Structure 1
Amino acid sequence: MERESRFSQWLRRRARNGARSGPDAARARAELLLRAAEAGFPLAPAAHPSGYGCSCVRIGCPTPGRHPVSFAWQTQATTDPEQIERWAETQPQANFVTATGRTHDVLDVPVEAGRMALERLDEQGDDAAAGPVALSDGERMLFFTATRGTPDDEDEWWPCELDCHPETMDEHPGLRWHCRGSYVLVPPATLPGDRPYADVRWLRPPVPGEALPEPLTLLETLTDACAVHAGGRRDHEPAAPWPSR
């Protein structure tokens, strides 16, 4: 009998636990946000779904429920637990983003590629190799890594074509590297629609005090998985593990 993958176990367990509502759900939400902040992820409030649209005032918002509330989100983002608890209490429907490029980066891949990468890492027997991992909308998988940082000498900050900013999301169908100036939704977050996984949830939650993996240690595994995924979809939908411009 084939052993059930850990990825499948996570999805089954999260679906079973996702039906909670009321005060317990609010407390669980706050605890998840505080745990992310304790792990060093700076948070800021984001919009949330309103029907099939967005809670923001923008007509025809192109990214409903997926963007910060304030244009000053980079300044606003914090790990201060008291501030995060205030936000969670006063904005009970809000999603939250975490600003990347400060204490962590995020490698963002199609869910099929992420599943393959996780299973490969699992086979190697190193549970901590992947670091924290989240599932976004059932379509993308987010790998939280250490950041390349923002050194004093800008010449030492190496750019790359994988760099993903909020306004260039559609240009990165394969692997996206969220670093300085970008953000991702942090679990728990709700997205528009009634699909089974119209949310952002942890598959492997962060462990406060545990070092994040270096991005380059994951990059080869993730790009290989993206290449396999892209090859398998070539007859149906063009995709590429590396963005082309």
Structure 2
Amino acid sequence: MEHTIGAPRQLAGQLLDTAVRYALERHWDVLPGSWLDREAGGAPRCSCAAPSCPAAGAHPTRPDWVTQATGNPAQVRGMWQRSPLASVLLPTGRTFDAIDVPESAGLLALARLERMQLPLGPVISMPTRRLAFFVLPGAAAKVPALLRGLGWPPESLDLVVRGQGDWVTAPPSRMGTGGSAQWLREPNELNRWLPDAAELLRPLVYACGQEAVTARAR
């Protein structure tokens, strides 16, 4: 479904320009997703029209989205010209995977990673109060065994690795109640070379473990 009438021009232009820049400068595949519509006097709702959409404003709109994603800047521009308010989705499992954790645990881990001067890739802060840490692809396959090696059954932690067949929502996309995804650590030349998941895992597991212990104590 195309959505051009009444599109806020500034946001539409920002989404298009940013999607093209991700493809051109970072060589990331990008994908147009759903968007948030606002009815007169009403709360934002997902363009998919599902009453209780679990990923409102930020999910693929086609079953063949995996083949639709592209890193060709001209094709990217064409897709957003057809759907200017589409959210910008970045497929994982290609040039990067993403470790998705609760915001409080992610901020604790981030401070520790920086204090230890460990390598760090881009980090997205989402209005769903979660952070996504970019790591080398292949993390989804190896992290469960790494977690067990650290003494944590994978299902015991609120830590999700997004790999092949998944995606992350990229800034400046709006999602949920209308907040926008933001870069907590922007992509730049210094973090172009991503860390391996194993390099970040201890601080992330420690922070998520602390949160799990606190939740059980309540």
User: Where on the TM-score scale, by shorter chain, does this alignment land: which range?
Assistant: 0.7 to 0.9
Q: Spell out the pairing of 1:197-216 with structure 2 (5 A cutoff).
A: 198-207=179-188, 210-216=192-198
Q: Cα distance, 1:135 vs. partner? A: 0.4
Aligned with residue 120 of structure 2, among 130, 139, 144? 130
Runs of 4+ in 1 over 6 A off after TM superposition: none
Q: 1:176 aligns with which of 154, 160, 183?
A: 160
Alpha-carbon displacement from aligned partner over 1:195-224 (angstroms, at most 9, x marks no partner): xxx221111122368211111111111111
Distance 1:59 1:132 in 2: 33
Deviations 1:80-126 (A, max 9, x none): 11111222233221102111111110000000011011111221245
Alpha-carbon distance in structure 1 between the residues aligned to 2:183 and 2:172 = 8
Query: More deviation in 184-193 or 35-44?
Result: 35-44
Identity %: 32
CA contact (8 A) 1:109 1:140 kept: yes
Corresponding residue for residue 189 of structure 1: 173
Partner of 1:105: 97
Structure having the larger proportion of residues in helix? 2
Unmatched tracts of structure 2, length 5 or more: 1-7, 39-43, 147-154
Unpaired stretches in structure 1, ≥5 consecutive residues: 1-21, 151-156, 163-170, 237-245
Q: Distance in 2 between matches of 1:45 and 1:161?
A: 33
Q: How many residues align?
A: 197
Aligned counterpart, 2:216: 234
SS class of match (1:83): helix
In structure 2, what residue type is equivalent to 1:44?
A: L
The alpha-carbon deviation at position 192 of structure 1 amounts to 3.3
d(CA) in 1 for partners of 2:199 and 2:121?
11
Q: What TM-score does the superposition give when structure 1 sets the normalisation length?
A: 0.70
- Pair 1:49 & 2:36 matched: yes
Once residues 192 and 149 of structure 1 are traced to their aligned partners in structure 2, the CA distance between those partners, rounded to angstroms, is 27
Q: How far apart are the structure 2 equivalents of 1:25 and 1:36?
A: 16
- The 1:63/1:172 distance shift into structure 2, 3 A limit, reads farther
